[in-house]
Amino acid sequence: MTIEMLWAQDDPAEVLRDRFGFANAEEVGAWVSSTVERHWGVRVGSPERVAISDSNALAWVPRSDERLLLKWSVAPDRFERLAFAATVTASLGALGLPVSTPVPTLAGEVQVTSDGVSMGLQRVIDGGHLNVGDSDQVRAAGAMLARLHNALRELPLRNSPPEFLSVPAPVTEQIAGWVTSDPSTLPPKARDVLGQMLEQAPADLPPLQIVQGDYRAANILCVGSAVVGVLDFEELRLDHRIVEVARSAVMLGTLFRDWGPVSQSVRQQFLDGYQTVQALTDEELQWWPVLVLWYSLALVPPGDDPNGWGRAAAEALKHTVR
């Protein structure tokens, strides 16, 4: 069994002990096997791999001719959100969308809490992470986001916990507030251009809806030119669909430890793919360059910039003012 951190540089053995309470790999392996059998009635082998991300852990376990994934959290403030995300994912799976549908427990639950741990079981989806150098995959990812948006728009909101589906501030206010905060990475020219674009942006957008929240290469699995899996719906939120389309386009290539920008052509391929399924309104398309520039600028880190977000933001600005 391998134990690793998904993105952090911490010692996984120390995190496993201090955050999750397991002294060693043998302890976590025994707990995973017994937990899956107790709640799901399924006998599995010892985990092949355990990966840790913040207060979450994932264990890949073999079962006869398939592989399962147990994902658990020890952050109580996230438990309600995790249960909601599991319910939404199950609904999307029932519609035939390629999501990691939770396996119901013996009691019929899609997410279970026991002994201070919230957990869910899924079937492993075979596929590679989205390759932003493959234009067919990029377009397919855009089309899949449109399909997800259409399905998520139909979900009833009346029973949704308000704390994770709170109404965001208007987009104009969000961007203006960021500019007013005077980020050290915001060049004067970019500030002026963004301000002018905000003044010209339309006031009206289609209604808010539930969006996926973290749609990027780390959570998109492909085989050939097809998207075969969309993972991790834990960041579900209310927003305008064009906001997620733009944010996802800017962050599309980001993986766990490879956090780099994509080119303007990749962003356009993604947008084109989206519109093969769902045409955007004229108002949304007017917001597209504003949002792309904002997210590009906002992702520039202060100090060292090993991944080139500053160069990418400069290119986005240059493309905007043509």
Within this chain, do residues 115 and 143 fall inside the same structural domain, yes or no? no
| CA of residue 260 relative to chain centroid, distance | 16
Within this chain, do residues 281 and 246 fall inside the same structural domain, yes or no? yes
Please determine, for residue 162, whether its predicted confidence score (pLDDT) is greater than 90: no
Say which CATH number the domain at 213 has: 3.90.1200.10
Q: Which domain, by its residues, includes 222? A: 129-320
By percentage, how much of the chain surpasses pLDDT 70? 98
> Is-above-0.85 flag for pTM?
yes
Within this chain, do residues 40 and 183 fall inside the same structural domain, yes or no? no
Within this chain, do residues 64 and 213 fall inside the same structural domain, yes or no? no
Within this chain, do residues 171 and 222 fall inside the same structural domain, yes or no? yes
Residue 126: Cβ-neighbour burial (10 angstroms; 0-12, 13-18, 19+): exposed
Average pLDDT over residues 41-57: 94
User: Which letter does DSSP use for residue 165 in this model?
Assistant: S
- Determine the pLDDT at residue 145: 99
User: pLDDT per residue over 187-235, tens digit each?
Assistant: 999 999 999 999 999 998 999 999 999 999 999 999 999 999 999 999 9
Within this chain, do residues 254 and 138 fall inside the same structural domain, yes or no? yes
Within this chain, do residues 112 and 164 fall inside the same structural domain, yes or no? no
Residue 27: Cβ-neighbour burial (10 angstroms; 0-12, 13-18, 19+): middle
User: pLDDT per residue over 238-260, tens digit each?
Assistant: 999 999 999 999 999 999 878 89
Question: Looking at the 3D structure of the chain, how many domains does it have?
Answer: 2
Of 82-96, 135-149, 151-165, 285-299, which gets the smallest average pLDDT? 151-165
- Determine the pLDDT at residue 6: 79
By percentage, how much of the chain surpasses pLDDT 90? 88
| CA of residue 54 relative to chain centroid, distance | 15
Within this chain, do residues 148 and 135 fall inside the same structural domain, yes or no? yes
φ/ψ region of 46 (left if φ > 0, alpha if ψ in -120 to 50, else beta) reads: beta
Within this chain, do residues 311 and 194 fall inside the same structural domain, yes or no? yes
Say which CATH number the domain at 50 has: 3.30.200.20
Average pLDDT over residues 145-150: 99
- Determine the pLDDT at residue 173: 97
Among residues 97, 124, 151, which one ends one of the domains? Answer: 124
Within this chain, do residues 74 and 153 fall inside the same structural domain, yes or no? no
Among residues 124, 146, 163, which one ends one of the domains? Answer: 124
Average pLDDT over residues 288-296: 98
Within this chain, do residues 106 and 142 fall inside the same structural domain, yes or no? no
CA distances from 44 to 33, 127, 140 (A): 6, 22, 34
Please determine, for residue 161, whether its predicted confidence score (pLDDT) is greater than 70: no
Please determine, for residue 170, whether its predicted confidence score (pLDDT) is greater than 80: yes
Within this chain, do residues 182 and 221 fall inside the same structural domain, yes or no? yes
Among residues 124, 147, 169, which one ends one of the domains? Answer: 124
Please determine, for residue 113, whether its predicted confidence score (pLDDT) is greater than 70: yes
Query: 66-73 and 49-53: which strand pairing?
Result: unpaired
Question: Is 199 in a helix, a strand, or coil?
Answer: helix
pLDDT-derived band at 156, boundaries 50, 70, 90: confident
pLDDT-derived band at 164, boundaries 50, 70, 90: confident
Q: What is the mean pLDDT of the chain?
A: 95
pLDDT-derived band at 107, boundaries 50, 70, 90: very high
CA distances from 82 to 48, 188, 230 (A): 24, 41, 16
